[in-house]
Amino acid sequence: MKFYKLGLLTLLISLFILSSCKRQEGIGLDVDPATQINGTLVVDTSLVATTVAEDSIPTLGYSSRVPLSYFKDPDFGVTHAGFATLLSLPGGGAYTVPTGTITIDSAVLSLPYTPTYAFYGDSLLSTFKVNVYQLAKNIQSSVTKTYYTNDVFATGDLIGTKTFKSRSHDTLRVYTIVKGKPDTIVKVVPQVRIPISKDFITNNLFEAGSVLSSNNAYQNYIKGLYIKLDEAQTTGVGGNMFFNADSAKVLVYYRATSNGTVDTTMLSMPLTNGLISIQHDYSDKVKAAMNQTNGSNLLYMQGMAGLRTKLSFPNVKNILAAAGNNAIINRAELVMKVSPGTGIPFAPNPRLTMYRYDLARQRVLLQDASGGDPRASGIFGGNYDATTGEYHFIVTAFLQDLVNGKTIDYGTFIAPVSPVASGTTVNIGPVVNYAERSILTGKNSPDRIRLKVIYTKINQ
């Protein structure tokens, strides 16, 4: 009986202790009672959020992830993307044509998928046809000329084509040549292999003459390649595929016959300097949202140099009015929610970022994301919570500076960002080579974007 009473007393004490501990809503960290924030909670839902287009983006430097896209998104509209690239000589330097009579058995462009986030769209029901063209104009001048993601490249002859299903996780088995031994089958990384015209290889390699003296001369001569999907021959909703152009190459399998001796071999011509070209044909409802200036019912976020959300804070000076504006913000959290039903079948962005413009309209980190600001908590946020369908950002220092007038709001934005973690660094650069998109609830929804602020009044 004594043990029964002792157990009951322990249970009552435990319930009393637990009832006094409260969990703050937001990022999801457990609250340490020793550091628990005590203050007044106010929720501001007066934020004005509008859908805006991404800035134009220089395209050079994305060779590790280049897209092929024809994606007919029922909500966003159609995305088109391809890429231009330079073709290099074998070994990247001067090339000497083998002696004897050369017979090309086959030539193929090997396009390896990226190891992560290689496909976004419908890979089950859609069939794709990819075309490879020789460029009509030289892109070697890209060293001195800046290309942007909305640039269009003029094409010349069609030199290769392939119809395929996108299988970005399936390895392949291909024949490879082993010198002095029988050909063997090897397993290679997931890729698309596109047959290339034998005549193109003959005319532009084995019979190219003096341009083979240097890689620079050869690339000026070839002009480059352009790789895109044949939209008329692509069926279904389509999708966005991503390839590692740094590992892409044209493989040429040939026989050189000299004095009755046949030498069967393979040479590799790497691709370099992928230049991405992206066009968006937005749906009427996206266009309508972009035309709103005082907020819209739905907010559209899209990678591939697509769409972002601009925020303004018309009530920022009144957030602490109940405290007579004599208060310190202990915590401010921005919360936004994916519109119900819009995350299927196309999953929302795994991660968003938040940044502001400075006076020169350059992107800068919010104070809470800056390692140079002592007020930064180290937990900025931006990851998608699949359980709640929400994104959260900690913006305490940023909001305090807005309230105090220390920071002027020249423009504040939420935008897609690479879903691949980059340590503790907060990435605010525009995302070109990830295609995920999100639709967020807007101004007339009970789950519209809101600021949850905990403040402490300062006694005078």
CA 180 to CA 203: how far, in whole Å? 28
Is residue 273 within 8 Å of residue 63, measured between CB atoms?
A: yes
Q: Are 343 and 335 in contact (CB under 8 A)?
A: no
Q: Where are the alpha helices (DSSP H) in 165-283?
A: 198-201, 215-222
**Under 8 Å between Cβ of 283 and 155:** no
Are 335 and 450 within 8 A, CB to CB? yes
Q: Judge whether 368 and 397 are in contact, CB under 8 Å.
A: yes
Listed residue (273, 272, 255) closest to 264, CA to CA:
255
**Sign of the torsion angle spanned by Cα atoms 21, 26, 29, 32:** negative
**How many Å apart are CA 134 and CA 201, to the nearest integer?**
12
Tell me the pTM. 0.86
Q: pLDDT tens digits, the chain, 460 residues: what are they?
A: 443 344 444 434 344 433 333 333 334 444 445 445 568 999 999 999 999 999 889 887 788 899 999 999 999 999 999 999 999 999 999 999 998 899 999 999 999 999 999 999 999 999 999 999 999 998 865 556 889 999 999 999 999 999 999 999 887 777 666 665 566 777 788 999 999 999 999 999 999 999 999 999 999 999 999 999 999 999 999 999 999 999 999 999 998 888 878 888 899 999 988 899 999 999 999 999 999 988 889 999 999 999 999 999 999 988 888 777 788 999 999 999 999 999 999 999 999 999 999 999 999 999 999 988 999 988 899 999 999 999 999 999 999 999 999 999 999 999 999 998 776 789 999 999 999 999 999 988 999 999 999 999 887 6
Alpha helices in 227-359 (DSSP H): 284-291
Domains of the chain (ranges; CATH) run 31-54+303-457 (2.60.120), 66-281 (no CATH)
